[in-house]
Amino acid sequence: MKIIPSILFIVIFQLRCLGQTPKLFEVKEIIATDTLNKKNASNFRRENLNFFEDDKYIVRKTCSGEWGGTVWFKNKKTGVERSCVASCPVIINKLDGKYFVTTTLNHMVGFSQVLEINDPELLTVFKLPKPRAVIGKRIIRAVGDDEAQSAKGSKVLLDTMKVSMLLSFPLNGQLYHLFTDYKKTYLGKLQGTKLVTIDTVSQDSLWSYDTDVIKTGDGHFITFFKNEKVEGYLDVFGNSVNVIRYR
């Protein structure tokens, strides 16, 4: 009779284990102590040298810091370039024919957005404003005068403060984000207009003023981080999120 409770416990334990939902992402932290393992951007072969490119558009980005930023879509057939405000573009992902632009500005408390662009042809053709002054042959303009001022054709999905967006990447038709609140670093996704946390990637803030993201030819997403506390890079491949830290 004493054996029955033990058997019952084992059966219940096994059923509970079978009912557990496996984690979608595998997060690892790797400490690179050998200088040979300390990589830089030149060690990764980019899928494309352009900021983004598909069969219809070549896309570039510009950033003037707190004075503005822009994402520029150039139509391959017509040669017409259209743009919208994006301060400052980090990466573009295309899902279901829509373009999702992730931006971040590591200025003051930090500002980040996720923009949705359904049709780049609805964006505005940029017109350079008149000079602030002309002195002889010198044309005087202010910083940011050559950045887009129009948001027409774009939709803001996320507009947040005190957050730095490090990287956005698609998996199984869903867009995910690596971000930091300048205290810790997280993996999350959008629910409505809110950025919700799925997992903690690091107990440190893995941000950098350089927000360049490398998408490699074999499908890795790479972004480097460097601040007064930590240095290294993030490597996302499929559902694997690796934090490679330099000592």
Report yes or no: 83 and 143 within 8 Å, Cβ to Cβ.
no
Between 218 and 2, the more confident residue is 218
| 176 belongs to a structural domain | yes
Distance in angstroms (rounded) separating the CA atoms of residues 180 and 5 = 48
pLDDT at residue 104 is higher than 60: yes
| 14 belongs to a structural domain | no
Q: What is the mean pLDDT of the chain?
A: 91
| Predicted local confidence at residue 21, as pLDDT | 54
Q: What is the mean pLDDT of residues 204-211?
A: 95
Distance in angstroms (rounded) separating the CA atoms of residues 115 and 108 = 21
| 2 belongs to a structural domain | no
Between 93 and 11, the more confident residue is 93
In 3D space, the residue among 203, 167, 163 whose CA is nearest the CA of residue 29 turns out to be: 203
Show the beta-strand stretches assigned E in the chain. 26-32, 52-53, 57-63, 69-75, 81-85, 89-95, 98-105, 111-117, 133-135, 138-140, 155-161, 164-171, 174-180, 185-191, 194-202, 213-215, 221-226, 231-237, 240-246
Q: What is the pTM of this model?
A: 0.89
Q: Which of 21-35, 84-98, 135-149 has the lowest mean pLDDT?
A: 21-35
Cβ-based neighbours of 28, under 8 Å, separated by 6 or more = 240, 241, 242, 243
Report yes or no: 85 and 64 within 8 Å, Cβ to Cβ.
no
| Predicted local confidence at residue 162, as pLDDT | 96
> How many domains, the chain?
1
Range of the domain at 79: 22-246
| Predicted local confidence at residue 37, as pLDDT | 74
Distance in angstroms (rounded) separating the CA atoms of residues 115 and 124 = 15
Q: What is the mean pLDDT of residues 111-119?
A: 98
pLDDT in tens, 124-160: 999 999 999 999 989 999 999 999 999 999 999 999 9
| 160 belongs to a structural domain | yes
| Predicted local confidence at residue 13, as pLDDT | 38
pLDDT at residue 194 is higher than 70: yes
Cβ-based neighbours of 224, under 8 Å, separated by 6 or more = 40, 41, 208, 210, 212, 232, 233, 234
| Predicted local confidence at residue 100, as pLDDT | 98
pLDDT at residue 35 is higher than 90: no
| 139 belongs to a structural domain | yes
Between 9 and 152, the more confident residue is 152
